[in-house]
Each structure stands twice: as C-alpha cells, then as structure tokens.
Amino acid sequence: MSAEPPESPGSPGVPGSPGFLAMLPRLTRLSTAVSRGRLVERAAEEAGLGRDRAAVGVLVTLRTADRPLRIGEIADRMQVVGPHITRQVQALEKRGLVRRIPDPHDARARLIEPTDVGAEAVDRYLAFVLGWFTDTLADWPHKDRDDLVRLLARFADDVTARLALLDDEDD
C-alpha cells in the first residue's frame, strides 16, 4: 500500500487551484487596506463627509443603487442590522445629505435617497477613490485593467451568491 503524496504548499486541500492559498493573505491585506486604511478616511475628508465610515457607506450604497431604498434594503446591501442604518440615516438627514420620500408601492413606508448635496459629496468621494485606483493601475496594459475589472466583478458576484446560499441553509 502506498502513501499519498503530501500536498503541495500552494494548494493544500484545494484541487486544481495552485497558488490560491498564497493569494489569501494578499486578499486579507487588500481588504484591510481599503476598508480600514487611510484611503477611505482621506477620500471622505476630501469629499467633506468627515470620518464617519458608516455614513459614507450608506451614501455610497444609495448612490450606487438604481433607485431609492428602504432602510432594510440598505442594511442588506451593507450586511449590517437595520437599527444601525436607521441611526446613520437620521444623522445624514440632520446634515442634509439624505431625505425620506414616500414609497409609491406602500404608503406606510419611506424610501431613502441622497439629496443633491449628498449626491455631490458622495460623487466627490467616489471620484477620489476611483481616481486613486486608476492611478495605481496606470502602468498596467489596458487589457489587464479590463480583465481585472471583469474578473473582480465575477468573483464578487460568485462569492456573494455562495454566501447567500450559506445564509439560506442557516435559516
């Protein structure tokens, strides 16, 4: 009886994906750098949004949506609980950055949308962040940049879909 060969360091337990294990620390560093690093803080300051990352997240979520959203929809998209979003929306309303509007499908409900001032602020934020990433990739060939965008979008969609399946199994 022969023993199975040891797994290679690049792909322990992951058939057909050499190097994936080596990529995981880079993904972790990237996630931390983007979500907790100076980029988000500096972009928010440049946009006049202060240092409230949660508020920035709400505004970005609203701005990238194709329509005004209910509190629960914002919470789902941001993967947080509703009461947290309610507090953020109230603070953003006081600053004149979002407003509540009637839901045309349910007179009892309200939708949240950015005000003109809120939309302009989040547009400045997004321009700063996207400009920073564009500058970072400036030396990459155009095809590589296009491939990165395409593959990251696909990866994000697939990960999100699989995570939703896990959530469904837990319910």
Q: What residue type is assigned to position 169 of the chain?
A: E
The answer to the question of residue 81 being in a domain is yes
The tally of domains found in the chain comes to: 1
pTM: 0.77
Residues of the chain under the 70 pLDDT cut: 1-18, 171
Q: Cβ(98)–Cβ(62) under 8 Å?
A: yes
The answer to the question of residue 67 being in a domain is yes
Note the pLDDT tens digit of each residue in 160-170.
888 888 877 77
What residue numbers bound the domain in which 38 lies?
27-136
- Domain with residue 92: its CATH number is 1.10.10.10
The answer to the question of residue 96 being in a domain is yes
